[in-house]
Homo-oligomer: A and B are copies of this chain.
Amino acid sequence: MSSEFALYGYFRSSAAFRARIALNLKGIKPELRFIHLLRDGGEQHTPEYKAVNPQELIPTLVHDGHTITQSLAIIEYLNEIVPEPPLLPKDAYGRAHAREIAYVVACDIHPVNNLRVGRYMKKLYNTSDDDTARWHRHWIRIGFDALEAVLSSSPETGKFCVRDAPTIADICLIPQIANARRVKLEIETWPTIARIEAHALTHPAFDAALPKNQPDAE
């Protein structure tokens, strides 16, 4: 499958990174449309892109006449229309466990550290880049401490977050780890997370989705 899909993204966005991993795992090569989040105040704010995605966020997937926003909705959609390989375990509890890990990242870590949140704090409280990095580290630490507690003790943990195949949990976790490194956190603080990352990056779907491997990488 190829040109019937289009993905709006940006190399450094961890939400777009998630969508890239899911597309790679499903063997889909979408047409790539680049939205530079910093250039000219952010290309996500142009009227053209706002017509595609009223939230002015990336990623957005276009498929079969439909426009789908929100990386997690894109991942679940891809998993429903292309069932193999599955991005969720087969059993209800396994699925719940994979999703809860995904949501720790996607609901409780990532949004609080989103670019627009840092920008609004700067506007309100004149925060510096160091303040923003401290803010990021705080929320990543809290989230990763909880995830490490879960992953290091759960009998469900395998080579990946849930057993031995990649799921939506790894699709969310690996991009968040890249963000953690950008604010100088030592991933080895969380040994189970570090081990899962090392394993995931041996998988071509994860490697090919890395920011540095994108056509728009700087």
Interface, chain A (partner B; CB < 8 A): 54-57, 64, 66, 68-70, 72-74, 76-77, 80-81, 92-93, 95-97, 99-100, 103-104, 106-108, 110-112, 114, 117, 120-121, 124-125, 127, 131, 135, 138, 143, 145-146, 149-150
Contact = CB atoms under 8 A, between A and B. Distances in A.
Nearest to A92: B80
Tallying the copies of this chain within the complex gives 2
Contact of A77 (B57, B77, B92): B92
A6 B106 CA distance: 25
Interface residue SS majority, chain A? helix
A105 B208 CA distance: 31
Nearest to A91: B80
Contacts of A56: 146
B112 A117 contact: yes
